Amino acid sequence: MNERQRARRPGGRSARVGAEVHQAVIDLINERGYGNFTVGQVAARAGVADSSIYRRWGSLENLLSDVVLTRLNAQSPMPDTGSLAGDLRTYAANVAREITGPDGLLLVRLAVALSSSGQQGLEASEELRAERTRQLQSMLDRARERGENAPDALGVLDHILAPMYIRVLFGMEFTPDYVDGLVDRML
């Protein structure tokens, strides 16, 4: 097995180091808040060299974006229930669960903070948004292929996700019925 194949092996050292670095970021944000730690402090917490983080992620902002995207993908994957209504309800419920969970507000604030942290933060934030939009678009494209009238990805962001994120940011509660109502109005 060559070095490239080894790097891609799930569950290998690379995956373990990535998970340790991600956990270090979450711990530091919980302890200190966004913008109050360095790559060196993340590396020390994760037990890796700074150079490993720079080699893999390039910057703190890229690392932070990767942490958010990885958590969202793990907790709120794009569903494939066989119908647009089912997909949107499942997706919205997953996102609601994630953003109201233990690290939910932290992840929302981190995503918002990236967009106001200089050029690198803007670029990382844009990549995060673009990747999540691509994933969402794939779900919507499947619905269109089934002959359903699907909205565009921006419409889903505006009418389903944005209201939930705003409620989380302002400490407002919401219920599963509220989330289902967002999907109903979208459809």
Closest CA to 73 of 146, 14, 29, 22: 22
pLDDT tens readout for residues 9-67: 456 778 888 999 999 998 888 888 777 889 999 999 999 999 999 999 998 888 988 88
pLDDT (mean) for 151-165: 93
Contact residues for 145 (Cβ-Cβ < 8 A; gap 6+): none
Identify whether the C-beta of residue 129 lies closer than 8 Å to the C-beta of residue 105: no
Using CA atoms, how far residue 81 sits from 48, 89, 142, in Å, is 41, 10, 10
Decide if pLDDT at 2 tops 50: no
Q: Where are the beta strands (DSSP E) in 49-149?
A: none
pLDDT at 79: 92
Of 129 and 155, the one with more pLDDT: 155
The answer to whether 115 and 121 have CB atoms below 8 angstroms apart is yes
Q: pLDDT tens digit string along 93-110?
A: 998 988 888 777 777 777
